[in-house]
C-alpha cells in the first residue's frame, strides 16, 4: 500500500493541489521557513498578508538578522504565539553568524535551531532539499489518523509515536518535495476537521475511518482540562494630545518583548491613586485566553495634560495614531488602544 498511497496523493496534488501560495514562488529555505513558522496554529488565509509584509521588509535571512526585535514583533502583531517571532530573530542571527547565511540542509541539523521542531525541520529539508523525511503538522496528523484509524489525542506521546511511524512508513522514494506539500494540502483542503470532502479524497478507498463511518472520531480530542482564571489591572495613561503610555515587557515569559500596559494589584492601585494627577476611570473589562489559563483584565484609565505630568517608568514608550504600527503589541493592548484612539 505504501507506494500506492503516495502515488495517489501525488497524482491528486498535480491536478488539485495549491501551487500559487506566496511561499511557493521560490521553494528556497528562507521563505519556506518563514511560512512554516507562521502557519503553526494559524490558517493560510490569515498568514498570507503577514507573510507578504514580512518578506517585503525582511527579504533575506541576513536582513532579518540585522533588524531590531521590536520591528520584527511589530510586523507579527496579531498573529499571536509571539515566541515564534522571537525565535525567528534568534535563528536568523545564528544562521547569519555561524552558517554564513546558508540554512542547514538536513532535518537533524535544522532541529538545533531555536523554534524549529521535528515537523518544521522535516518540511524545510524535504521541500527545499528533497530529504526523505516525514512531517506531521496538524493537517497531516488528521490525514494519517483517519486513513489508518490511529485513535487517541495526537498530543499524547504514544499516539504521536504511532502517527510518526505511519507517516514515515508511507513516504515515497521520489518527489519528496511535492509529496510533502501534497500531504499538507490534502489535510488543509479535503481532509478538513469538520465536513471533510471524502468523495474528493484520493485515498478514500484505503481510509479506515471512512470505511468504519467514524471520521469524526479521528484524530482523538484533547482531554478537557478546566482552565483557571486570573485577574489583573492594567494602568492606561493618556494625554490630551492622544498619546498613550506603554511599557515593554521582559524578553521572556507571557508576551515577551511586546508592549503592553503596567500591571497592578488592587492594593497597588489603591496606594497609587492619591498620587495620580487625575482620578482613575475604569474601562470595559477584557478576557484573554492562554493555553493554560484565562486572564481577566480591568483597564484603568488616567488622563493627563502632557507626558511630563506623570513620573517615568521602566521601558516606557508613548504610542499615538501616527506611530501605532511601530510597536509589537499584545492583543489586549491593541484592543484598548483601538478603543481610545477610535
Which tens digit of pLDDT belongs to each residue from 37-62? 999 989 999 999 999 999 999 999 99
Which tens digit of pLDDT belongs to each residue from 290-299? 988 999 999 9
Catalytic residue from among 36, 71, 161, 168: 36
What CATH architecture applies to the domain 2-217? Answer: Orthogonal Bundle (1.10)
CATH number of 229-341, picked from 3.40.50.300, 3.90.79.10, 3.40.640.10, 3.90.1570.10: 3.90.79.10
Would you state the cell numbers that stand for residue 313, as one nine-digit string? 517608568
Give span(s): CATH 1.10.340.30, the chain.
2-217
Task: Please tell me the distance from the alpha carbon of residue 308 to that of residue 261, in angstroms, as a whole number.
Answer: 18
- The pTM of the full predicted model, rounded to 2 decimals, is 0.85
Say which residues have a Cβ less than 8 Å from residue 1's Cβ, sequence separation at least 6: 170, 206
Share of the chain above pLDDT 90, in %: 89
Active-site annotation holds for 36: yes
**The predicted structure's pLDDT at residue 2:** 60
Strands 286-289 and 281-282: unpaired
Task: Please tell me the distance from the alpha carbon of residue 33 to that of residue 102, in angstroms, as a whole number.
Answer: 12
Say which residues have a Cβ less than 8 Å from residue 40's Cβ, sequence separation at least 6: 81, 84, 120, 137
Strands (E), 240-310: 244-248, 259-260, 263-264, 281-282, 286-289, 294-304
Give span(s): CATH 3.90.79.10, the chain.
229-341
**H/E segment holding residue 90:** helix 83-98
Amino acid at each position: 500500500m505504501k507506494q500506492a498511497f503516495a502515488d495517489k496523493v501525488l497524482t491528486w496534488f498535480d491536478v488539485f493541489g495549491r501551487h500559487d501560495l506566496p511561499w511557493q514562488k521560490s521553494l528556497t529555505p528562507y521563505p519556506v521557513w518563514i511560512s512554516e513558522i507562521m502557519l503553526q496554529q494559524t490558517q493560510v488565509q490569515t498568514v498570507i498578508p503577514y507573510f507578504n509584509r514580512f518578506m517585503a521588509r525582511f527579504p533575506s535571512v541576513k536582513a532579518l538578522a540585522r533588524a531590531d526585535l521590536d520591528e520584527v514583533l511589530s510586523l507579527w502583531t496579531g498573529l499571536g504565539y509571539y515566541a515564534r517571532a522571537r525565535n525567528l530573530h534568534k535563528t536568523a542571527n545564528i544562521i547569519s553568524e555561524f552558517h554564513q547565511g546558508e540554512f542547514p540542509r538536513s532535518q537533524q541539523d535544522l532541529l538545533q535551531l531555536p523554534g524549529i521542531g521535528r515537523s518544521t525541520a522535516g518540511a524545510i529539508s524535504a521541500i527545499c532539499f528533497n530529504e526523505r523525511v516525514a512531517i506531521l503538522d496538524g493537517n497531516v496528523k488528521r490525514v494519517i489518523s483517519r486513513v489508518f484509524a490511529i485513535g487517541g489525542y495526537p498530543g499524547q506521546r504514544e499516539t504521536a509515536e504511532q502517527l510518526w511511524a505511519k507517516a514515515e512508513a508511507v513516504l515515497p522514494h521520489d518527489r519528496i518535495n511535492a509529496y510533502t506539500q501534497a500531504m499538507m494540502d490534502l489535510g488543509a483542503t479535503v481532509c478538513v476537521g469538520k465536513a471533510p470532502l471524502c468523495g474528493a479524497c484520493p485515498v478514500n478507498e484505503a481510509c479506515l475511518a471512512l470505511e468504519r463511518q467514524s471520521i469524526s472520531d479521528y484524530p482523538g480530542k484533547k482531554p478537557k482540562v478546566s482552565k483557571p482564571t486570573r485577574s489583573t489591572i492594567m494602568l492606561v495613561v493618556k494625554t490630551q494630545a492622544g498619546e498613550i503610555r506603554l511599557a515593554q515587557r521582559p524578553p521572556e515569559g507571557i508576551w515577551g518583548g511586546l508592549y503592553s500596559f503596567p500591571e497592578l494589584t488592587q492594593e497597588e492601585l489603591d496606594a497609587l491613586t492619591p498620587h495620580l494627577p487625575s482620578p482613575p476611570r475604569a474601562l470595559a473589562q477584557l478576557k484573554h485566553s492562554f493555553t493554560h489559563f484565562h486572564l481577566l483584565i480591568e483597564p484603568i484609565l488616567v488622563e493627563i495634560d502632557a507626558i511630563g505630568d506623570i513620573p517615568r517608568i521602566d521601558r516606557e514608550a508613548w504610542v499615538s495614531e501616527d506611530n501605532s504600527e511601530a510597536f509589537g503589541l499584545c492583543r489586549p493592548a491593541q484592543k484598548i488602544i483601538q478603543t481610545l484612539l477610535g
